[in-house]
Each structure stands twice: as C-alpha cells, then as structure tokens.
Structure 1
Amino acid sequence: MRLWQVACQLFLAAAALGQSAGPVADHAYVGWNVLEVVSSPVTLEEFGRPGRVNILSFNRKTATTVVAVARDELPHFVQKLTENGLGFQTQVQDLSRLLLPALTYDQTRTIPKGDATFERYMQYEEIVSYLEELPAKHPDRVRLEEVGRSNEDRPIHLITINKSSNSRKAEKPVIFIEGGAHAREWVSPASALYLVERLLESPSLLRNAEWRVVPLLNPDGYVYSWNHDRLWRKNRAPSTDPECFGVDLNRNFDFHWGEAGSSTRPCSFVYQGPQPFSEPETRALRDAVLEAQHRIKAYLSLHSYGQMFLYPWGFTAAANHSNTEELVKMAE
C-alpha cells in the first residue's frame, strides 16, 4: 500500500469514527495539495514558507516524503522541486475534503463521565475523566499518578496496571508504553487507552508483568489539534521566534540529540528544542522511565501513520542494536 493511501485511510478513519474529531479547526487546509516526493522531509520543509508546508510522513525505506502544501505556496514549491530534480506525484488536491468530515463533532454523542468510547476519538476532557475514574473502578489493579505538568500546566498521567496496585516493590518485569507525543496522531492515545481496557479485561496478562502506560504525553498539542490546527504536531512551548511555537517532543531526548532528522529552526515540524530535555513533557517521561529502569523489559512508543515497527537505532542507518535479531523477530 502506498503511503498516500495510508494517509487517506488515516484521515478518513477519523470521519468513520463517528465524525467526531471536534469543532471545526481554524486551520482547515482548504485547497492544500498532498504530494509524494522522493526526498528527505527536512529538505522539503526548507522549500516553503513556515506554516505553508506540512510534512505528513517519511518512509526511510523508499526515501519518499508525503507533504501537504498550501495552495498559495504550491507554484513556488513545485518550482523548487523541479530545480532540484526531485520527482513527485500529486495524490490529493484538496486536503480539507478529507479532514472536514472528521472536524464536526456531534455534541449529542456524549459518553458518561469516566467511561471510554472507541467508536470515535475522545476529547481531552473525556480522556482525563476516564483516567481519573480508573482507580475507583479497579482499586486492586490500577494506580494513577501525575508524573509532571505540560507547558500549559495540564497533567501528564501515568497508569500502572498490576495484579496488586499497592505493591510498588513487586519485582515483576515492567512493560512501558507511551502515546500521544505527536499531537495530530490521535490514534496513538486512543490505542493506548484501548490497550488499558483490554488489559483490565484480561487479568492473565497481569500475572507475570506490570504495565505502565503514559497515554497522552502531549496534552497541550492534542487540545490545539482539536481546536485550531488538525495537523499540529509539536507541543505548545514558545520559542525565540514569536511567530513559531512548539518543540517536537520526539526530538528532545538527550540520546544523540540534534543529529539526524531534527532541526534547530523553531518553525520546523522537527524542531529539537534549545537543549535536551528542555520540555516539561520529556522530563516527565524521562523521570517516569528512570523510576522503573531496572525492571523495564520492553518499551513501546505509539505513533501514526505508516504501518511500521521501528526499532533502534533511529539516528543512523549504519549501526545495529545489540538486540537487533530479537527485535526483528518480535516485530515480525
């Protein structure tokens, strides 16, 4: 399946899930074209003005990038592609036709306080309500804690699911899962919450492991993607450029910080931040991982889209991880 087809399926899936992705955003992407280009995403981002080019996905295996380009930016952008000898195909001529059906939230389709739904994406307040009710519903298996606060002072929650939620010293291996680092990837926190539900329905999965889940690492960006810009990716931290907000949380960790696939420009969709762990969200995740580091046997970060399993290392294509063979086997 081609990447642009996966993209279309992702966007249309939001519409299929009850046409419930929230109020119509300020940025509806009317007239934006979606192109598939044989190029790296950082190169393409530099071909257009800030805010007029939006990188959707990059496939390292095929070296192709799916990029959305504003109608008024398109002639200049195509000219740059031609000048640099970069081949491309136009896959979508009006992105809003895919997004708008999913940007009209049916206010009558509410869910009871503390419940979850997987027939549509949940608003931020619904997610928080669900999380806050979990310990009361499952006192013997669930512990909920706040491991930090976002840039805009929203809580970052960690759910611990175990056979006995009060036995913090139990020496079970830990499986750590994190979702919602990139704001626009709504299926990521939805998948994390779906997993929580399935774990609570299957006590056998708790027998030999403790599960720790951060379902929504980037709450500020998530809210912004509902209310203002459906394709917003970063957090909402101010930068040295008054017109550009946000750090790509996935580029803000200290391991090989600032190397391949990141940018020093605050307007970039992969802006790495002024320094490693500059963001309260990444610091919260770091501390939550370090607290259980000696027991963590598996770590999974949920993203979309692309239908891929990615395993270390991401900063280089040359180096092999010591567990590469095992990782490949698990992915397969």
Structure 2
Amino acid sequence: MTMAQRIKLTTPQAETEISVGENLSAGLRHLEPLPVLLVDERVMLLHGKLFDTFPAVLIPSGEQHKTLQTVERIYRELVRLEVDRSSLLVGIGGGVATDVAGFAASTYMRGVRFGFIASTLLGQVDASIGGKNGVDLDGYKNMVGVIRQPAFVWCDLSLLTTLARREYVTGIAEVIKYGAIRSREFLGYLEDRIENLLTLDNQVLTEVVTRSVSVKVDIVQQDEFESGTRRLLNFGHTLGHAVEREYGVLHGEAVALGMVLAARLSHALGFLPADGVSLLESLIARSGLPVDRKIDPGQIYEHIRKDKKKSGDIIHFVLLDRPGNAFIREIPLDELKQMLHDLC
C-alpha cells in the first residue's frame, strides 16, 4: 500500500483508522481474516482486477436499490458464503454501497466486523465516515439504520479516475459544506483551487479529502449519536433531501441547492450578511453545481414534515451567521412553511 494520510476517529465504542491516498485497495490482500467483499456492481465492472479474487456479494448501483430488499438479499448471500461473527466484511463503492454494506454488516448475526473502501468523492469525504449506516424507506432518505463505526475506511483516490464527471462534481457539495459550517479559511482554499480540484490534481485532492474528513471526525467525536453538534453536518440537507426526493437529482446537487436556500434563509432572518450568501453561491456555481431551480414550496414542505430531523412540530435547522460558522435553530414547522413560500 502506498503512503497515505491517516486520521483516527475515536468514540467510546470503537476506533476507526481512516486513510487517504492512492492505490489503497491493494491492501486487501494483507487483511486477516480473508475479507468478504460487498461491492457496488459498477465498481466491480470497472475495477474487477482489484477485487475479483475475493469472495464477493454485488450491490446494485443506484439510490433506488438502497432498500431493505437489497439488504435481505445480501443476508442470504452471506449465509451461502458461510459468513459468521469471526468474518470480516468490506463494503466497496460510493455512499449507497457503503450505507447498505454497513447496515448489513451491523445487523447480520447482530454485528460482524467491517470496513470500507470509498470509491467516490462523496463517499470519501462524507458517507463512509462517522458510522451512519442505513437504507431508505418508500423513497425517504435513511429512515432505517444504525450508528456503528467501521474498523477502517480507505479513501482510495485512484478509484476516482473512472468516476463519471457529474458523480465526481456532486461530491464537491459536501466539501463546500465543511468550509461553510467550520472554516472560512478552508472556503478560501477552495476558492483559490477549485479548478485544480475539478481536474483531480492529486495534491489538492489529497488535501481536500483529508481536511474534509478531519472536520467530520472532529464533529463526530464530540457527538457520535447526533444529539447536538453533529446536527451541524445537516447544513443544506433538510431542504436537500426534500429536493432530492421530489426532483430525482443527485444527492450533492440537491445539497448544493439546499445550502443556497439555507444561506438565503440565514440572510432573510438577519444572521448572514449578503456577501456571505454571494460567496457561497459563487463557489457552488464555480464547482459546476446548481444554485437555482424552480421549486414547489408546498411539495418540499410535505417532504420535510417526514424528515427524520423533525422532532414533533419543530425541525432542527442549520443556519449560518458568517461563512465558516454554523448554528442550529429550532424552527416550528408552520413558520418554516411560510419561509419556504417566501424563499421559493
């Protein structure tokens, strides 16, 4: 395995070693016991030479397969392969694959040791980090799941070279989110180097993934089970998940729109100056992500009413008071409904 950046995520229940670098997947042959792979079918098609010598279960590509039915099929395959509690499972793919693999591993035989190889930018900077594993239910995001940390996460930058352009760009939304909620300096770094990031410049890519992971690790270590600080990671996601469900856009595209709307709402409420909104909109647009879309506020509100971040008649909404600093405000749903009509 090549030299990699390493970050440790430590919680009371577990420790995860996260590695960022090139050609990390070659390290599979050194794992003990011999791992059983849960691999996104497209990743296997593109990178089969790395993975086809290991026992494997394929995970269908696409958010539409992030379901209990997919997990049930995986369970049956694990039984066929005689996987038991002494086994090691490795989920390989983007956010859908690692969410599904982590949930299957966490619940099969009440928990089997597992790790991840993240193959997309979104997976590397967000989905594979922090222990959230789960599936959608009737189209609603991550409604069934657990929080259980993987033993390791390998962010293999080499796998990004075969990622479709649109899929790569969608991951940049989560990168921008980290700057928006935690670091004005990181936002400045992204402003100066966004073109390098878009061309997969290795030095910039390594720095961006490592810094993004470090922000998430810091937050998760403070609040593993999302009772407070971890909610900051939902910036752009309350509205984003609703947009994703209603319009079928990619997750990062929906989060980008959600961040723009959340920034505009922060300004409308008197928290975020106008130049802060402009900074975020400009960076998102330069990344190739959407900043405007015709949105039906009534439909978006109906989806938010079923969001898992809702608590009774209020929702924990993440706002900005300046670029690089976020806070959580409880907003009554009836007030949010009016705000959405004003924004959209």
TM-score, scaled to structure 2: 0.26
Q: Which has the higher contact order (CA 8 A, sep 6+)?
A: 1
Which one has a larger percent helix, Structure 1 or Structure 2? 2
Which one has a larger percent strand, Structure 1 or Structure 2? 2
